[in-house]
């Protein structure tokens, strides 16, 4: 199928470093490393990981993956775009919403949390017999404790780790 891009999502979930699965993960890792070293066809490999510390060192060294990028929580301008995308996806016109205000109100929210605020606002509005609006979404944002609050210490630790070891995606 080459040339192609091979996308490995949440790589750490399939390649645990312990012996909790009878060695299956280690055999998969060995096969993957061998294939990466010996492949002749042009395959661009991209992998995501939520917990890079659980990946084996031999997988993340230079030569296996050329760069490690850190994707932080979205900045305000990106959050605005996320609101626009997810409103449009639900056939709601972003022009009918104050996306600047929503972006400002969602500091520390991930893209998935922003999407869920829209989903919840749509359901709540339909239940009340009204149309979703900016205030309904803001209400859902106010009710939500984003991961950046719930797991603040872990996220701060990850940011400190990434600052000196990765290429920042923003």
Which CA distances in Å does 52 have to 24, 115, 161, 167?
Answer: 20, 25, 11, 14
- For the record, the structure tokens of 107 come out as 């500091």
Inter-residue contact 33 to 64 (CB < 8 Å): yes
- Counting residues of the chain whose pLDDT is more than 70, the rounded percentage is 97
Domain 76-149 has CATH 1.10.8.60: yes
| Cα 79 to the center of its chain, rounded Å | 13
CA–CA dist 6, 44 (Å, integer)? 6
Point out which residues pair with 7 in neighbouring strands.
46
- For the record, the structure tokens of 4 come out as 């192609």
- 84-143 confidence digits (pLDDT tens): 999 999 999 999 999 999 999 999 999 999 999 999 999 999 999 999 999 999 999 999
SS3 51: coil
pTM assigned to the model:
0.83
Domain boundaries, the chain: 4-66, 76-149
CA–CA dist 75, 137 (Å, integer)? 18
Inter-residue contact 152 to 128 (CB < 8 Å): no
């Amino acid at each position: 199928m080459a040339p192609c891009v091979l996308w490995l999502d949440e790589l750490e979930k399939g390649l645990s470093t312990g012996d909790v699965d009878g060695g299956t993960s280690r055999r998969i890792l060995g096969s993957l490393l061998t294939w990466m070293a010996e492949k002749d066809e042009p395959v661009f490999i991209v992998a995501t990981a939520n917990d890079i510390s659980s990946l084996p060192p031999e997988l993340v060294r230079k030569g296996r993956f050329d760069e490690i990028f850190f994707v932080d929580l979205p900045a305000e301008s990106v959050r605005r775009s996320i609101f626009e995308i997810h409103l449009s996806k639900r056939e709601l016109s972003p022009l009918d919403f104050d996306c600047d205000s929503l972006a400002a109100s969602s500091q520390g929210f991930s893209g998935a949390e922003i999407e869920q605020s829209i989903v919840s606002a749509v359901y709540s509005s339909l239940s009340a017999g009204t149309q979703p609006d900016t205030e309904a979404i803001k209400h859902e944002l106010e009710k939500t404790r984003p991961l950046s609050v719930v797991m603040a210490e872990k996220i701060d630790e990850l940011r400190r780790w990434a600052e000196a070891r990765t290429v920042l995606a923003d």
